């Protein structure tokens, strides 16, 4: 086979065989096919999409390019959750222990912040001492003993995807549904899961701007999972305003602790209860989602989810005392107030994520270090009526670093409309395999 011929065929809208896709991905991973040919292939896929056989071969080649974790077949299902990312999306932190407290094991390999979205790993690393890098044996043994482990993608998991993603990132081919779906599903299936709940975000703070795009992505991911004998459910959820009340790293850990203690913002808790219920049904410990919701709510309210979280923190070397006391923030704050009376709207939620980046809460380039103590407390919800002078956002900054740029973005991201605005529905369609 020649990469040239396969690129040309894909460019001209032909369907490639599974063998051809495997040959391309294996050759790329081994360094035998150069970046520029795979970049051209990615662009051809961007314009022409992928047929199910091509997609299946892409997922399977990326999945088998590295380690695939295997758990013993002991009849106790392992279920994970993946979110396509948003602003203030700290759901994995309370969700994994809450689900584990109900008896379903959660092996979770999570990512760092990407663009305007925060990353679970960056948030966990705000806890002093917390180790996000684990060996496969440590990962498996913690999932079995405690019930959950959240670690970074430091293992040799789907290395083909890592290489392919880096190339897509610089060739304008990230926002391509089959490539996103293959990337996410190959990594998740490599965790050794039996089932997966997908939280596919849509709206102005998500990568998928419309419900239709999110629905397409969800459908493709659910089909991939089903083809690979995994139980998969996708919930489409709104990202038209930040999730919860806090955005940042340490500050989102603190919100997660509140949720784990049965408190926390209503929307964050609703997401945990809903996604957790789906995980319990897939894990066969709940008869239906109603039963699942009741079990997750109980685990949040009776302290068992919080105890599980502390056990996970301790097992991964984190300082449990600092969790119990809430993590410290920068100690310097500025409060942005409404300049006029009106109704709150979030015309572009990404601005709030980018504002957090300006303060040092994320990375503009790979080598940047994160300041865990900066971030926002957002006092208002979409649709809320405010007066001139009403506090909108408390900005936790460090010595004013990036403060001016962050405030400029916040003023674009949190607008006051003269006419009434609406609070978006949190939950959209549900798709199952
Ligand atoms: N997240 C991933 O893991 N892969 C993509 O391609 C896009 C988002």
Residue 114: predicted pLDDT: 76
Residue 178: predicted pLDDT: 97
Q: Which atom of ligand 1 is the closest one to the Cα of 179?
A: 6
User: Is the pLDDT at 153 greater than 90, yes or no?
Assistant: no
Based on the fold, state whether residues 308 and 189 are members of the same structural domain.
Answer: yes
Please tell me the distance between residue 41's alpha carbon and the centre of ligand 1 in angstroms.
Answer: 17
* Among candidate residues 68, 70, 55, the one with its CA nearest the CA of residue 22: 55
Domain count, the chain: 3
Give me the CATH number covering residue 352: 3.90.1170.30
Active site residues: 82, 161, 168, 183, 187
Other beta carbons within 10 angstroms of residue 433's beta carbon come to 18
Q: How many Å apart are CA 37 and CA 425, to the nearest integer?
A: 43
Is 124 among the domain residues? yes
Kindly state the average pLDDT of the residues 339-366: 94
Is 112 among the domain residues? yes
Is 61 among the domain residues? no
Residue nearest (by alpha carbon) to ligand 1 atom 3: 184
Kindly state the average pLDDT of the residues 68-95: 94
Residue 75: predicted pLDDT: 84
User: Which residues are within 8 A (CB) of 144 and not within 5 positions of it... i.e. 6 or more apart?
Assistant: 71, 105
Map the chain to HEC letters: CCHHHHHHHHHCCCCCCHHHHHHHHHHHHCCCCCHHHHHHHHHHHHHHCCCHHHHHHHHHHHHCCCCCCCCCCCCCCEEEEEECCCCCCCCHHHHHHHHHHCCCEEEEEECCCECCECCHHHHHCCCCCCCCCCCHHHHHHHHHHCCEEEEECCCCCCHHHHHHHHHHHCCCCCCCHHHHHHHHHHHHHCCCCCEEEEEEEECCCCCECCHHHHHHHHHHHHHHHHHCCCEEEEEEEECCCCCCCEEECHHHHHHHHHHHCCCCCHHHHHHHHHHHHHHHHHCCCCCCHHHHHHHHHHHHHCCHHHHHHHHHHHHCCCCHHHHHCCCCCCCEEEEEECCCCEEEECCCCHHHHHHHHHHCCCCCCCCCCCCCCCEEEECCCCCCEECCCCEEEEEEECCCCCHHHHHHHHHHHCEEECCCCCCCCCEEEEEEC
Is 197 among the domain residues? yes
User: Is the pLDDT at 112 greater than 90, yes or no?
Assistant: no
Is 54 among the domain residues? no
Q: Which atom of ligand 1 is the closest one to the Cα of 165?
A: 6
Two tokens, residue 307? 């105890």
List, for residues 241-264, the tens digit of each pLDDT value. Answer: 999 999 999 999 999 999 999 999
Q: Which atom of ligand 1 is the closest one to the Cα of 111?
A: 3
Residue 368: predicted pLDDT: 85
Residue 161: predicted pLDDT: 93
Picking from 324, 343, 362, the residue at the C-terminal end of a domain is 324
List, for residues 367-414, the tens digit of each pLDDT value. Answer: 888 999 999 999 999 999 999 999 999 999 999 999 999 999 999 999
Q: How many Å apart are CA 428 and CA 91, to the nearest integer?
A: 17
Query: Containing domain of residue 411, as a range?
Result: 332-417
Residues with CB under 6 Å of ligand 1 are 165, 174, 179-180, 183-184
Two tokens, residue 201? 């975000």
Based on the fold, state whether residues 319 and 378 are members of the same structural domain.
Answer: no
Kindly state the average pLDDT of the residues 158-166: 92
Residue 388: predicted pLDDT: 97
Based on the fold, state whether residues 299 and 342 are members of the same structural domain.
Answer: no
Based on the fold, state whether residues 93 and 201 are members of the same structural domain.
Answer: yes
Based on the fold, state whether residues 123 and 251 are members of the same structural domain.
Answer: yes
Please tell me the distance between residue 187's alpha carbon and the centre of ligand 1 in angstroms.
Answer: 10
Is 295 among the domain residues? yes
List, for residues 195-212, the tens digit of each pLDDT value. Answer: 999 999 999 999 899 999
Q: How many Å apart are CA 369 and CA 360, to the nearest integer?
A: 8
Based on the fold, state whether residues 320 and 356 are members of the same structural domain.
Answer: no
Kindly state the average pLDDT of the residues 27-54: 97
Residue 73: predicted pLDDT: 85
Based on the fold, state whether residues 85 and 225 are members of the same structural domain.
Answer: yes
Based on the fold, state whether residues 246 and 97 are members of the same structural domain.
Answer: yes
Tell me the best of 161, 178, 184, 218 to mutate to test the pocket of ligand 1, counting ligand atoms within 8 Å of each CB and taking the most: 184
* Among candidate residues 262, 189, 274, the one with its CA nearest the CA of residue 232: 189
Based on the fold, state whether residues 301 and 407 are members of the same structural domain.
Answer: no
Confidence bin at 169 (pLDDT 50/70/90): confident
Is 302 among the domain residues? yes
Tell me the best of 165, 198, 213 to mutate to test the pocket of ligand 1, counting ligand atoms within 8 Å of each CB and taking the most: 165
Confidence bin at 341 (pLDDT 50/70/90): very high
Give me the CATH number covering residue 137: 3.40.1030.10
DSSP type of residue 425: P
Of all residues in the chain, what percent carry a pLDDT higher than 90? 91
Based on the fold, state whether residues 250 and 336 are members of the same structural domain.
Answer: no
Residue 118: predicted pLDDT: 82
Based on the fold, state whether residues 392 and 262 are members of the same structural domain.
Answer: no
Is 65 among the domain residues? no
Q: How many Å apart are CA 313 and CA 311, to the nearest integer?
A: 5
Kindly state the average pLDDT of the residues 285-312: 98
pTM of the model: 0.95
Two tokens, residue 14? 């032909």
User: Is the pLDDT at 184 greater than 90, yes or no?
Assistant: yes
Based on the fold, state whether residues 31 and 126 are members of the same structural domain.
Answer: no
């Amino acid at each position: 086979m020649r990469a040239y011929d396969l690129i040309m065929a894909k460019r001209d809208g032909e369907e490639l065989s599974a063998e051809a896709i495997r040959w391309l991905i294996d050759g790329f991973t081994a360094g035998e096919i150069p970046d520029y040919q795979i970049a051209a292939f990615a662009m051809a896929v961007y314009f022409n999409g992928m047929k199910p056989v091509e997609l299946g071969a892409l997922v399977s080649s990326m999945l088998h390019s590295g380690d695939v974790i295997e758990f013993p077949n002991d009849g106790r299902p392992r279920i994970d959750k993946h979110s396509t990312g948003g602003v203030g999306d700290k759901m994995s932190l309370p969700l994994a222990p809450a689900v584990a407290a109900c008896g379903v094991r959660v092996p979770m390999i999570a990512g760092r912040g990407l663009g305007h979205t925060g990353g679970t790993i960056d948030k966990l690393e705000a806890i002093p001492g917390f180790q996000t890098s684990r060996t496969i044996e440590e990962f498996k043994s913690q999932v079995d003993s405690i019930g959950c482990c959240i670690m970074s993608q430091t293992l040799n998991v789907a290395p083909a995807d890592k290489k392919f993603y880096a190339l897509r990132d610089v060739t304008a081919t990230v926002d391509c549904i089959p490539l996103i779906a293959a990337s996410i599903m190959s990594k998740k299936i490599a965790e050794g899961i039996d089932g997966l709940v997908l939280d596919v975000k849509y709206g102005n703070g998500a990568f998928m701007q419309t419900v239709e795009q999110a629905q397409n992505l969800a459908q493709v991911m659910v089909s991939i999972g089903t083809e690979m004998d995994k139980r998969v459910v996708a919930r489409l959820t709104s990202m038209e305003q930040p999730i919860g009340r806090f955005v940042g790293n340490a500050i989102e850990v603190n919100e997660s602790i509140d949720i784990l203690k049965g408190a926390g913002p209503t929307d964050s808790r609703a997401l945990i209860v809903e996604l957790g219920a789906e995980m319990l049904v897939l894990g066969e410990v709940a008869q239906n989602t109603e039963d699942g919701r009741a079990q997750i709510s109980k685990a949040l309210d009776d302290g068992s989810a919080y105890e599980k979280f502390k056990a996970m923190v301790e097992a991964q070397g984190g300082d449990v005392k600092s969790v119990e006391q809430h993590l410290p923030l920068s100690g310097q704050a500025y409060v942005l107030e409404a300049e006029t009376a009106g109704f709150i709207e979030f015309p572009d939620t990404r601005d709030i994520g980018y504002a957090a980046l300006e303060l040092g809460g994320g990375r503009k380039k790979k080598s940047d270090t994160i300041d865990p103590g900066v971030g926002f407390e957002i006092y208002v919800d979409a649709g809320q009526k405010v007066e001139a002078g009403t506090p909108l956002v408390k900005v936790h900054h460090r010595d004013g670093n990036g403060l001016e740029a962050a405030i400029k973005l916040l003023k674009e991201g949190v607008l006051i409309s003269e006419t009434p605005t609406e609070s978006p529905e949190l939950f959209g369609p549900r798709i199952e395999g």
